[in-house]
Amino acid sequence: MPITCIAIDDDPTSLESLIEYIENSPDLELIKTFAEPLQALSEISASNPVDIIFMDIEMPAISGIELASLLRQKTKHLIFTTAHTRYAIDAFKVEADAYLLKPYSVLNFIKTIGNLYPNGKKDVNPLTVFEDHYFYIPVQDESGSLIKIDLDELISIENSHQEIQFKTLNKNYVSAKLDLIKMMKMLKKHPAFLQISENIIIAKQHIKSVLGNQVLLSGETSYPIAASHQELFSTFLKSNLLKPTNLPD
């Protein structure tokens, strides 16, 4: 089955280039294009979901960020196409899957689609975003910076109220929960991480010792293992215990 797409951009030149890229990609099927964001809102809201919505950010009447927040449930993947880098934080908040910076080449376009749909298949590995062993998070400070988190250095993730805390070997970071719901779901499925309570995910490689229901990690970090996750943790331990061997007499 083809990967269905919708393109939204008020700039005719940008929209024309995007249409050309889509139409020249054998795995993509362009369902509809919109130059007016309010028209897009009206029609897409009443239509069936698609696989990808490509969306400009700076548009009249309503911005792409605002439009995306209203239409996010109508697409599996959201890709922003914009000439401005300053919207990267806002893109996180509406769970954008990619951010194509204009003018982007056809190679960048193909690579972006390939990351979401390896080999053109619709069944996507949800961990594709971690193929490079790092990801970026928006941190809560005055600068609105994006911080690179290396998976090898990530010790644990704590989900509390409106914040998520990332503990690494070098430093701890806090980000808004709203920005990273999708990323948290993917980390829970990542084979290198293990959930030990409703709110805590830990890196298996940073487990130093286990005493009763307490797990000690790198950086002198420790957590209790919730009763609801004891069975899962015990299964992990059993599968990693050194098996005794029978030595010859």
Domain ranges of the chain: 3-120, 129-239
Domain range 3-120, CATH architecture: 3-Layer(aba) Sandwich (3.40)
The structure tokens 């050309």 sit at 20
Cα separation of 75 and 63, whole Å? 18
Q: What does R_g of the chain's alpha carbons equal in angstroms?
A: 22
For the ranges 19-23, 117-121, 148-152, 200-204, which has the lowest average pLDDT? 117-121
pTM: 0.54
Q: What's the rounded Cα separation, in Å, for the pair 231 and 149?
A: 29
Please answer whether residues 49 and 122 qualify as being in contact, where contact means their C-beta atoms are separated by less than 8 angstroms: no
Positive or negative, the CA dihedral 131, 97, 103, 20 is positive
> Quick one: average pLDDT of 184-211?
88
- Residue 25 pLDDT: 87
Convert the pLDDT of each residue in 26-63 to its tens digit.
889 999 999 999 999 999 999 999 999 999 999 988 99
User: Cα–Cα distance between 189 and 227 in angstroms, integer?
Assistant: 20
The pair of three-digit structure tokens given for residue 23, joined into one six-digit string: 């139409």
Backbone angles phi, psi at 136, to 5 degrees: -115, 145
Q: Are strands 200-203 and 193-195 parallel, antiparallel or unpaired?
A: antiparallel
| 174-197 core/surface letters (b: 16 or more CB in 10 A; e: else) | ebbeebbeebeebbeeeeebbbbb
CATH of domain 129-239: 2.40.50.1020
Question: Is 90 exceeded by the pLDDT of residue 116?
Answer: no
Tokens of 63: 């911005």
pLDDT-derived band of residue 175, with 50, 70 and 90 as boundaries? Answer: confident
Report which residue type is found at 247.
L
Dist. CA 240–CA 228, nearest whole Å: 21
Q: What is the pLDDT of residues 193-204, one digit of tens each?
A: 999 999 999 999
Query: Whole-angstrom Cα distance, residue 239 to residue 150?
Result: 26
**Cα separation, 91 vs 162, whole angstroms:** 18
Measured CA to CA, the distance from residue 61 to residue 15 in angstroms comes to 18
CA pair distance 24, 162, nearest whole angstrom: 43
Which pLDDT band holds residue 126 (cuts at 50, 70, 90)? Answer: very low
Domains 3-120 and 129-239 share a fold: no
**Confidence check: pLDDT of 228 > 90:** yes
